[in-house]
A and B are shown apart, each in its own frame.
Chain A
């Protein structure tokens, strides 16, 4: 890691001011991804603004939902009673992430900003449009088993690695930020960006904007939700395919369903098509199969990851079965 300056922020406005006015500055909270990126040369900063003394780690009920401070650690959110009861998919996604040590360190805001595990991106000796715009994407012709079948472009097919973001997407959460121009709210669906021709731009944050908290609204579906993560080993591994599902059934008919996916797309992926194939209909095997087909209709698989087309449909059917659908 090359040398950098370091400042402890006093309050959120101070943090925003410091990052906005200090050349090459960025925020550090848990640091579990940022420091690896800096060690690997995938990212470089001249100055780090430490957020850890800010009063932003609280998790609490707020109105009809829960408010999660951006500095809350993964472990503490997963253990929170309100989260476990009202949003099982959220607690499950967090516990399926990383290792116990990292869950004690990593903060919620940073989790949403973690960068892809694409080997070409992490290896500063490789070309990568995300790391060095215009240098090319070796994954397009190279090893792409971990890469996206949905949402890719000619410039990038890297997947987003966050389990938390997939769960929050299924829960219609919103990300609250503070910036030089004040506070604003970003629906989680608009937070992460498709790569298009600018894969280096991964989210909707403007320069100096700080995530202060995340809000997750209550719903019947949210309370009846589940996360399934398929990976190459039982634990401490990123998703090959993951599904966050929330379901409200009334008399056997789907009243509300939210389906979000990880490991298959360039950003946390919500499938309005799959949801539409189920909403207002009985949860039969035929309807679930139709939803699966709708989910992968636009898929662009490559030889190494073609298996995900089938796997993600089965994973979705599996989660829906656990939530009360056909087995």
Chain B
């Protein structure tokens, strides 16, 4: 939790409709305020937040409209989480928040202050890959790799939740992660294998 749980900020009055949140994230670097007539509107359009990612605190200032995914990728340089659809449909942006898997494109960074965020970059233990990462390599569970970090983060949670007991169960509980290369057969095998290994 932050010390200031009640940060009130007004949107600045610039009415430009920015298409796509890559642009939106970029806009945070632009000088914040267009000149406005009223003094009350001259409140900064950015908020200062702390994000705890992979065990490290990061102080950043950003606009409220920046998604967690864009904050991770464009502000913190953690490009492991991918942007496939930006609509909560493909799962490429999956990260763990307080141990639960979520789609980071569909939440705002400002809403995730005080949470423990884990991205694929934080999964390995030094040089030792996480068992799910190892299983994905063993089973050749990717082609282009676009979905892979999301698949891996989702699989880590799927196994932890106890939803990796059978092929059918894995297919159901990994359904939030699409693979345009259709590596599903090998992904399912990798998740099952990692689940067995982690139970040992």
Which A residues are closer than 8 A to B by beta carbons? 1-8, 10, 28, 30-32, 35-36, 39, 41, 46-48, 50, 52-53, 75, 98-102, 104-105, 234-236
- Give the CA-CA distance A235 to B86 in the complex, in Å: 20
Q: A36-B88, A36-B106, A236-B176 are in contact. Are A5 and B10 (CB under 8 A)?
A: yes
Cβ-neighbour of A102 out of B9, B88, B163 (below 8 A): B88
Please tell me if the beta carbons of B15 and A2 are within 8 angstroms of each other in the complex: yes
Q: Is the CB of B111 within 8 A of A5?
A: no
CB distance from B93 to the nearest CB of A (A): 9
Q: Mark B108-133, 1 if CB is under 8 A from A, else 0.
A: 10110000000000000000000000
Instruction: Return chain A residues, CB-CB under 8 Å to B87.
Output: 36, 39
Main secondary structure of the interface of B (DSSP, over half): loop
Told that A1-B18, A7-B6 touch, could you supply 15 new A-B pairs with CB distance under 8 A?
Answer: A1-B65, A6-B9, A6-B108, A31-B108, A31-B111, A35-B106, A99-B177, A100-B101, A100-B157, A100-B158, A100-B176, A101-B91, A104-B102, A234-B172, A235-B171
Q: A6-B47, A31-B107 are in contact. Are A102 and B67 (CB under 8 A)?
A: no
- List of 8 A-B pairs having minimum Cβ-Cβ separation, nearest first: A99-B176, A6-B64, A5-B11, A236-B175, A235-B175, A5-B10, A104-B100, A101-B176
Q: A3 to B34, alpha carbons, bound, how many Å?
A: 12
Interface residue B45 (Cβ < 8 Å from any Cβ of A): yes
C-alpha spacing A50/B18, complex, angstroms? 22
Cβ-defined contact, A5 with B103, below 8 A = no
CB nearest neighbor in B for A36: B87
Contact of A3 among B5, B65, B108 (CB under 8 A): B65
User: Within the complex, what minimum Cβ distance (angstroms) separates B20 from chain A?
Assistant: 8
A101 lies within 8 A of B111 (CB): no
Q: Which of A3, A50, A234 has the most CB of B within 10 A?
A: A3
Contact of B5 among A2, A8, A104, A236 (CB under 8 A): A8
Bound together, the chains give a CA A5 to CA B13 distance in angstroms of 10
Question: Which residues in A have their C-beta under 8 angstroms from that of B10?
Answer: 5, 47
Binding site for A on B (CB under 8 A): 5-12, 14-18, 21, 24, 27, 45, 47, 63-65, 67, 86-88, 91, 94, 100-103, 106-108, 110-111, 154, 157-158, 161, 163, 171-177
Determine whether the beta carbon of B11 is less than 8 Å from that of A4.
Answer: yes
Q: Is the CB of A35 within 8 A of B67?
A: yes
Cα distance A50–B106 in the bound complex, in angstroms: 14
Provide 18 A-B residue pairs closer than 8 Å at the C-beta atoms, listed in order of the A residue.
Answer: A1-B21, A3-B12, A5-B9, A7-B6, A7-B8, A8-B6, A28-B111, A31-B107, A32-B106, A32-B107, A39-B21, A98-B176, A99-B91, A100-B101, A100-B163, A101-B101, A104-B100, A105-B107
Q: Which residues of A contact B65 (CB under 8 A)?
A: 1-4
Contact B175 A35 (CB under 8 A): no
If A31-B111, A35-B107, A101-B102 touch, whether A53 touches B5 (CB-CB below 8 Å) is: yes
